[in-house]
């Protein structure tokens, strides 16, 4: 099986990276991680990659004169790895328009909200403060605008009356570890097609279940 080569970009602990590593360990998973890149040398995700015998690199924006120079160095390193898909997994750096457009529909991100609601940072706290009944996570193709792009898949979790940002984050994170490998599988299998602002997934079954919160 010709497995899709994937580069994963991280900035921190790398739990979504670990979920992808674990998925790739399965012999029938149609993708493999060929490179892990962090913009921070203290990111534990680098150690996760090394423990899995994956090539790793640290590329820091502060080591370059401007954003474009950083993006160019990052792009060169990723292309040298042979990667054909980039997964952002807690990568806390806004990539430039040129980089994003050069990887159009081959660059995906996971975000801890039901986009287009709650873009940016601290979104779990925003969800709790706004009193929404449901939150969740989204895997989407990346566009130059922050947390924008065609949605591949989402997972929905309830917001409980006693939730704070930490407890809601933990509930969402569990589902991130489920849907990110699933989205990568679909892409690697060639089942995903972008049509305008929408994503079509061949042979996917829509979940027709209605969710109501709270209930009597």
* Catalytic residue IDs: 111
What strands lie across the sheet with 4-10, from one edge to the other? 56-58, 31-38, 4-10, 85-88, 107-111, 134-141, 151-158
What single string gives the DSSP state of each residue in the chain?
--PEEEEEEESS--HHHHHHHHHHTSTT-SEEEEEEEES-TT-HHHHHHHHTT--EEE--GGGSSSHHHHHHHHHHHHHHHT-SEEEESS--S---HHHHHHTTTSEEEEESS-TTSS-SS-HHHHHHHHT-SEEEEEEEE--SSTT-S-EEEEEEEEPPTT--HHHHHHHHHHHHHHHHHHHHHHHHTT-EEEETTEEEETT---------SS--
CA distances from 49 to 35, 38, 92, 186 (A): 8, 11, 18, 23
């Amino acid at each position: 099986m010709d497995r899709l080569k994937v580069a994963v970009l991280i900035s921190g602990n790398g739990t979504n990276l670990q979920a992808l590593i674990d998925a790739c360990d399965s012999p029938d998973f149609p993708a493999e991680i060929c490179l892990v890149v962090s913009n921070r040398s203290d990111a534990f995700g680098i150690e996760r990659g090394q423990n899995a015998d994956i090539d790793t690199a640290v590329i820091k924006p502060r080591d370059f004169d401007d954003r474009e120079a950083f993006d160019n160095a990052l792009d060169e390193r990723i292309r040298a790895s042979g990667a054909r898909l980039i997964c952002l997994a807690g990568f806390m750096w806004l990539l430039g328009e040129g980089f994003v457009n050069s990887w159009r529909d081959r660059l995906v991100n996971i975000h801890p909200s039901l986009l287009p609601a709650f873009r940016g940072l601290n979104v779990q706290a925003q969800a709790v403060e706004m009193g929404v009944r449901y939150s969740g996570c989204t895997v989407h193709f990346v566009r130059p605008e922050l947390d924008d792009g065609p949605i591949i898949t989402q997972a929905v979790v309830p917001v409980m009356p006693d939730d704070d940002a930490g407890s809601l984050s933990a509930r969402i994170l569990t589902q991130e570890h489920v849907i990110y490998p699933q989205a990568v599988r679909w892409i690697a299998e060639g089942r995903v097609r972008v049509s305008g602002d929408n994503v079509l997934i061949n042979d996917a079954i829509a979940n027709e279940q209605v969710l109501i919160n709270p209930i009597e």
